Amino acid sequence: MSLKNCYNFSDFRNLAKKKLPSPIFHYIDGGSDDEITLKRNTSAFDDCDLIPNILTSVGKPDLSTTVFGRKIDMPIFLSPTAMQRLYHPDGDKASAKAAAKYGTFYSMSTMANNTIEEIANISSGPKLFQLYVHKDKSITDDLIDRCKRSNFDGMCLTVDTLVAGNRERDHRTGFTTPPKLTVNSLVSFAMRPKWVFNYFTNKKFELSNVVKKTEKGTNIAKSVIDYINEQYDPAMNWKDAEYCVKKWGGPFALKGIMSVEDAKRAIDIGCTAIMISNHGGRQLDGSRSPFDQVKAISDAVGDKLEIILDGGIRRGTHVLKAISAGAKACSFGKMFLFSLSAGGQQGVEHLLKIMHDEIYRNMVLMGCKNLKELNSSKLIYRN
Amino acid sequence: MKLKDCHNFNDFRKLAMKKLPSPIFHYIDGAADDEITYGRNTSAFNDVDLVPNVLRGVEHVDLSTTIFGKKIDLPFYCSPTALQRLFHYDGERAVGKAAKKFNTMFGVSALATVSVEEISSIIDTPKMFQFYFHKDRGLNDSCLERAKAAKFDVMALTVDTITGGNRERDLRTGFTSPPKLTLSSLFSFATKPMWGINYLTKGKFELPHLQDYVKEGTSTNTSIGNYFSTMLDQSMNWKDAEKLCAQWGGHFALKGVMSVEDAKKAVDIGCTGIMVSNHGGRQLDGSRSPFDQLAEIVDAVGDKLDVICEGGFQRGTHMLKALSLGAKACAGGRLYLYALAAAGQAGVERALAQYKAELQRDMKLMGCTKISELNRNNLRFR
């Protein structure tokens, strides 16, 4: 199996599974607890059907939209995800270049393995930075200042990770960052010699953006879970978020909003966008899926800020449904991480091309010339 | 597989399956008829989604709640279950000590294998005694008096076992108490020699609350279904329950209430709590799950007595959902029985610690720091 055999999410996932040591594959693939929410994030789309219109002289549909002050060529982008060098030696560089090539956002996690400056140097495409509020406030300030200097377009603050979710697959595989060899994982690493070779022959693994500020950033074997629980501030509140919005002074999103009430408060503190997300089903299992909740939020605040639906996207039709229900754009993590693991920059580009083609084809089939024509009249919910 | 590999309910279940002779495992694991209600008790939680709130400053989470006038540190407790020494030789001692460590309530069954006197001498935290209404009134009085003398805090009268449920797995495995060797179970007992050695060497198996009154208390092999059907008084009615409630004179609960009408009657006869329960799906198959029925019962009587939701809980998020609907606390049997079978007191402690950690984490992710902050705004039904 190679990249050219990858036609959809499952194919990329299968190829990634072949390439990655199993603890690392399961770190991407897993959710929290019983993974009920992880599954629902995608299956929610199947409880809703698209109603096409015909004979609309659709021509060549325009897929562009504007988020975080930047026009993007299609209504999807790469969610911020941590530690991309675990998946491919090029890490964030690969995904940033691929996103720029397809005219859409790449997002950098606070826990990236490349620095803000490195990425700014190689990509002039749209860039979003994802912020965690650390207990040490100087880390937060430093990150915001550096993003400003490096001309990132937008900032998002993750608000659903005050404590790490219960990712049981990681308990079983013994996943830590940097990867630690245990008896259980040894076999799996040994069977993926190419991954191991790349990992050790490339630049040292580190959380580049915070490495100077915390000792956890470098070589202490910690699970992500422990990092989150030790470094992030569980006392974070609306005042802290407002401080970040003001300090940034540009397009700003809260990532992980699920209630209408919180969406309204996001407007009050000056946010220009929200990302409806349950962290890919990796945090609170049993929580509502973004697609199940997007319409209620869009009805309440859709005219006042940009709504990004994050989570569960596997297909172009999922994007069409999300936009019809009120999202401005969609983002995804797992899907592009599998493509990154499968083939680096080329893999991500391959995925973005497939997604572009699916959205384009389905817009034609829906009889829509541009994304504005997608609205709730295009959807019928079952039951 | 070892205790330290147990990260959730299912892991404990698997380990228990390895440790127990199969008739005993299936006695815990099984339920009535086609086990539809048993499955629904848990799957009901998946038909409702949690909607969290963010940025609320959630450093410290308080999981305590007050039920039956007692403050407990966790919003869940160990339901009374019968015959615990069959599952682990320490039986009720192990469960009681684990519950004490976490300062939550635990229940001792009338069919317990350790006496109320012994329990009370080692456990000073809140305790519930679970009572079956026997035909033999002398036995009933004795149970009540002994529990009172042993300073139990709550009396729970089970009202859903007027006859034994059709537990087909027990029919197939030949489960009886005390265990009887049959040809088909012999192999299973023989392959779990540790269980057999412990059973035969760690003290005689007995039912101390019954043994002075019924021969089933000691040596006669009987199935639980048969016991319910022959020993319990099927003429039990609201008058009997009211009398018992008065005779007890303290906190009194009916265990196994499912209808709003009955919940209201429980208020009328002086109960201070009810356990909404279908006996873990082990009695009337096809009956409604406690979680499905919880809201209407809370709406009707939630301000007049403590409504406990019992059955189906396997996760902290399940408990959050029940508490959001208005349950005062959650309770379960299998919740800790697999863990008891897996490793005795250490197992139960690990299970309780995991549920506690899950609840603490899930409360933070919900943006809540107190149980009283959970309400129906947190929920959306699909």
Question: Could you tell me how many CB contacts below 8 A there are between chain A and chain B?
Answer: 99
In the numeric block, which tokens belong to residue A266? 């996001």
Q: How far is A14 from chain B (nearest CA, A)?
A: 27
Among candidates A160, A164, A237 on the partner chain, residue whose Cβ is nearest the Cβ of B57: A237
From chain B, the residues in CB contact with A162 under 8 A are: 58, 364-365
From chain A, the residues in CB contact with B382 under 8 A are: 292
Contact across the interface for A285 and B380, Cβ inside 8 Å: no
Q: What is the DSSP letter of A377?
A: G
Q: Which of A61, A131, A151, A65 minimizes the C-alpha distance to A103?
A: A65
Burial B98-127 (b: 16+ CB within 10 A, else e): bbbebebbbbbbbbbbbbbebbbeebebbb
Examine the pLDDT at B348 and tell me if it is beyond 90.
yes
The partner residues of A329 in beta bridges, in order of sequence, read A308
Q: Report, as residue numbers or ranges, the catalytic residues of A.
A: 279
Q: How far is A259 from chain B (nearest CA, A)?
A: 6
Among candidates B5, B50, B53 on the partner chain, residue whose Cβ is nearest the Cβ of A261: B53
Q: What is the DSSP letter of A113?
A: S
Mean pLDDT of A370-383: 94
Examine the pLDDT at B200 and tell me if it is beyond 90.
no
Decide: A257 and A266 in contact? Cβ < 8 Å. yes
| Residue labelled with tokens 């635990």 | B106
Cα A376 to Cα A124, A289, A355, A373: the distances in Å are: 35, 18, 22, 10
Mean pLDDT of B271-277: 98
Greater model confidence, A186 or A162: A162
What's the angle, vertex CA B22, arms to CA B18 and CA B23, rounded to 5?
Answer: 150
pTM for this predicted structure:
0.91
Among candidates B55, B56, B321 on the partner chain, residue whose Cβ is nearest the Cβ of A286: B321
Among candidates B50, B56, B365 on the partner chain, residue whose Cβ is nearest the Cβ of A163: B365
Contact across the interface for B54 and A171, Cβ inside 8 Å: no
Sequence letter at residue B281? G
**pLDDT at residue number B221:** 74
**pLDDT at residue number A229:** 80
Which residues 6+ apart lie within 8 Å of B287 measured at CB?
B37, B258, B278
Examine the pLDDT at A301 and tell me if it is beyond 70.
yes
Alpha-carbon gap, residue A94 to B212, rounded angstroms: 78
Q: What is the 3-state secondary structure (H, E, C) of chain B?
A: CCHHHCCCHHHHHHHHHHHCCHHHHHHHHCCCCCCHHHHHHHHHHHHEEECCCCCECCCCCECCEEECCEEECCCEEEEEECCHHHCCCCCHHHHHHHHHHCCCCEEEECCCCCCHHHHHHHCCCCEEEEECCECCHHHHHHHHHHHHHCCCCEEEEECCCCCCCCCHHHHHHCCCECCCCCHHHHHHHHCCHHHHHHHHHCCCCCCCCCCCCCHHHCCCCECHHHHHHHHECCCCCHHHHHHHHHHHCCEEEEEEECCHHHHHHHHHCCCCEEEECCCCCCCCCCCCCHHHHHHHHHHHHCCCCEEEEECCCCCHHHHHHHHHHCCCEEEECHHHHHHHHHHHHHHHHHHHHHHHHHHHHHHHHHCCCEHHHCCHHHEEEC
From chain A, the residues in CB contact with B380 under 8 A are: 288, 292-293
Phi, psi of B150 (to 5 degrees): -85, 5
Contact across the interface for B382 and A292, Cβ inside 8 Å: yes
Cα B178 to Cα A362, B26, B172, B191, B218: the distances in Å are: 67, 15, 17, 19, 8
Q: Report, as residue numbers or ranges, the catalytic residues of B.
A: 279
Contact across the interface for A33 and B358, Cβ inside 8 Å: yes
Rounded to an integer, what is the distance from CA B19 to the centroid of its chain?
Answer: 21
Alpha-carbon gap, residue B6 to A68, rounded angstroms: 45
Name the strand (E) or helix (H) holding A342. Answer: helix A334-366
Contact across the interface for A160 and B365, Cβ inside 8 Å: yes
Which residues 6+ apart lie within 8 Å of B64 measured at CB?
B71, B72, B73, B74, B75, B371
From chain A, the residues in CB contact with B369 under 8 A are: none
Q: Which of A61, A84, A134 minimizes the C-alpha distance to A366?
A: A61
From chain A, the residues in CB contact with B50 under 8 A are: 284, 286-288
Percent of chain B with pLDDT over 70: 98
Check whether the bond before A21 is cis (ω within 30° of 0): no
Average pLDDT over chain B, rounded to whole? 94
Contact across the interface for A235 and B57, Cβ inside 8 Å: yes
**pLDDT at residue number A220:** 46
Alpha-carbon gap, residue B157 to A299, rounded angstroms: 50
B239-245 long-range CB contacts below 8 Å, 24 or more apart?
B240/B133, B241/B157, B241/B159, B241/B269, B242/B269, B242/B270, B244/B131, B244/B133, B244/B140, B244/B144, B244/B155, B244/B157, B245/B157, B245/B269, B245/B270, B245/B271
Superfamily name with CATH number, domain A3-381: Aldolase class I (3.20.20.70)
What is the band of B206 on the pLDDT scale with cuts at 50, 70, 90? confident
Among candidates B49, B57, B360 on the partner chain, residue whose Cβ is nearest the Cβ of A287: B49
Alpha-carbon gap, residue A142 to A71, rounded angstroms: 28
**pLDDT at residue number A198:** 84
Percent of chain A with pLDDT over 70: 95
From chain A, the residues in CB contact with B364 under 8 A are: 162-163, 234
Contact across the interface for B52 and A160, Cβ inside 8 Å: yes
| pLDDT per residue as tens digits for the range A202-247 | 887 788 888 777 665 554 456 667 777 888 888 899 999 999 999 9
Q: Would you say the C-alpha torsion B218, B220, B226, B230 has a positive or negative sign?
A: negative
Examine the pLDDT at B185 and tell me if it is beyond 80.
no
Alpha-carbon gap, residue B354 to B3, rounded angstroms: 12
| pLDDT per residue as tens digits for the range A6-24 | 999 999 999 999 999 999 9
Q: What share of chain A is helix, strand, coil (3-state, %, to 5)?
A: 50, 15, 40
From chain B, the residues in CB contact with A166 under 8 A are: 357-358, 361
Decide: B272 and B303 in contact? Cβ < 8 Å. no
* Three-state DSSP class for residue A356: helix
Name the strand (E) or helix (H) holding A126. Answer: none
Alpha-carbon gap, residue A318 to A332, rounded angstroms: 11
Which of A166, A230, A254, A294 is the mutation pick for testing B, counting most B CBs within 10 A?
A: A166
**pLDDT at residue number A239:** 95
Examine the pLDDT at B219 and tell me if it is beyond 80.
no
What is the band of B211 on the pLDDT scale with cuts at 50, 70, 90? confident
* Three-state DSSP class for residue A191: coil
Examine the pLDDT at A377 and tell me if it is beyond 60.
yes
Q: How far is A117 from chain B (nearest CA, A)?
A: 29
Residue spans of alpha helices (H) in A82-223: 91-101, 116-122, 137-149, 168-173, 183-190, 193-201
Mean pLDDT of B274-286: 96
* Three-state DSSP class for residue A253: strand
Contact across the interface for A293 and B54, Cβ inside 8 Å: no
Decide: A106 and A100 in contact? Cβ < 8 Å. yes
Chain B residues contacting A via beta carbons under 8 Å: 5, 7-8, 45-46, 49-59, 314-315, 317-318, 320-321, 357-358, 360-362, 364-366, 377, 380, 382
Lowest-pLDDT range, A50-59, A196-205, B337-346? A196-205
Among candidates B55, B314, B358 on the partner chain, residue whose Cβ is nearest the Cβ of A166: B358
Among candidates B50, B357, B382 on the partner chain, residue whose Cβ is nearest the Cβ of A284: B50
Mean pLDDT of A88-101: 97
**pLDDT at residue number A222:** 62
Contact across the interface for A236 and B366, Cβ inside 8 Å: no
Contact across the interface for A171 and B46, Cβ inside 8 Å: no
Alpha-carbon gap, residue B292 to B40, rounded angstroms: 9
What structural domains and CATH numbers belong to chain B?
A: 3-381 (3.20.20.70)
| pLDDT per residue as tens digits for the range A340-351 | 999 999 999 999
Q: How far is A191 from chain B (nearest CA, A)?
A: 24
The residue extents of the domains of chain A are: 3-381
Decide: A216 and A230 in contact? Cβ < 8 Å. yes
**pLDDT at residue number B70:** 97
Greater model confidence, A287 or A230: A287
Residue of A nearest to B46 (CA): A286
Residue of B nearest to A233 (CA): B59
The partner residues of B275 in beta bridges, in order of sequence, read B255, B308
Alpha-carbon gap, residue B352 to B339, rounded angstroms: 9
Decide: B334 and B35 in contact? Cβ < 8 Å. no
Q: Which of B45, B217, B56, B7 minimizes the C-alpha distance to A239?
A: B56
Average pLDDT over chain A, rounded to whole? 92
Which of A162, A226, A277, A294 is the mutation pick for testing B, counting most B CBs within 10 A?
A: A162
